[in-house]
Amino acid sequence: MDIEQKQAELIDHFVNQASVQKGSALGSVIVEATSHPSLFAFSEILAVSTVAELEGTENSVYLEVLQLFAHGTWSDYKSNSVSLPQLVPDQVLKLKQLTVLTLAETKKVLPYDQLMLELDVTNVRELEDFLINECMYVGIVRGKLDQLRRCFEVQFAAGRDLRPGQLGSMIQTLSKWLGTSDNLLISIQEKIKWADMMSELDKKHQKEVEDRVEDVKKSLSLKT
């Protein structure tokens, strides 16, 4: 079973679980979802009405945890750890994996120093073991470890949940790209048209030269 199909099945499972729970009972569902070793997308669970209803209640902390795993990083958790529950080891691992995905969204070459700082890793060996065993082996990233340059070259990274407002930005970027593509296509079509016209002119010129050559041959023949 590939990672996309596994994700889809897990999302359906936890969406169904969250749909039949309310209030504090959602806490165990959210902890289980954010601890699961094969689940890396949470927006569908966030969209469940019973989960959204946690906002502003005494159980809103569970919603905040789920939002953290959907859009946040390990650094975000450390900055807000006072107001959030203590994470279990599987949640810590998951959030660090998601942090790598966030970093890979904007950079394809990740310096070891930056990764060690973001992941609270103390040495290169520990970092490389984490990238190999917990990221590449799991299938969420592919890349090359460059010990000489002390960096991780990202070749592929799974996408994270879209942050609020990110969809509009993506649509705007795609619209600009489509506009650029349309202009490029028009330019190519104009160049093809120009090339066809030049080809026709060249054929016409060649025909005129050949006709003149024939005229000269006839003229010489008559003189002879």
Residue 165 backbone zone (phi > 0: left; psi -120 to 50: alpha; other: beta): left
Distance CA 76, CA 159 (A): 19
Q: 173 or 121: whose pLDDT is higher? A: 121
Domain segments of the chain as ranges: 2-157, 165-223
Q: What crossing angle do the helices spanning 89-106 and 60-71 adopt, rounded to 10°?
A: 40
**According to the model, what pLDDT value does residue 40 have?**
95
% of the chain exceeding 90 in pLDDT: 67
CB-CB contact of 47 with 18 (8 Å): no
CB-CB contact of 72 with 160 (8 Å): no
**According to the model, what pLDDT value does residue 27 have?**
94
Model confidence over 176-221: pLDDT tens digits? 667 777 777 787 887 888 788 778 878 888 888 887 877 777 777 7
Average confidence (pLDDT) over 32-49: 95
Question: Which residue has 């809103």 as its token pair?
Answer: 60
Q: Residue 120: is its pLDDT beyond 60?
A: yes
Model confidence over 41-60: pLDDT tens digits? 999 999 999 999 999 999 99
Model confidence over 158-185: pLDDT tens digits? 989 987 765 555 566 567 667 777 777 7
**According to the model, what pLDDT value does residue 61 have?**
96
Across 57-61, 67-71, 147-151, 165-169, least confident range: 165-169
CB-CB contact of 39 with 10 (8 Å): yes
Distance CA 164, CA 137 (A): 30
Q: Residue 222: is its pLDDT beyond 80?
A: no
Q: Residue 29: is its pLDDT beyond 90?
A: yes
**According to the model, what pLDDT value does residue 1 have?**
54
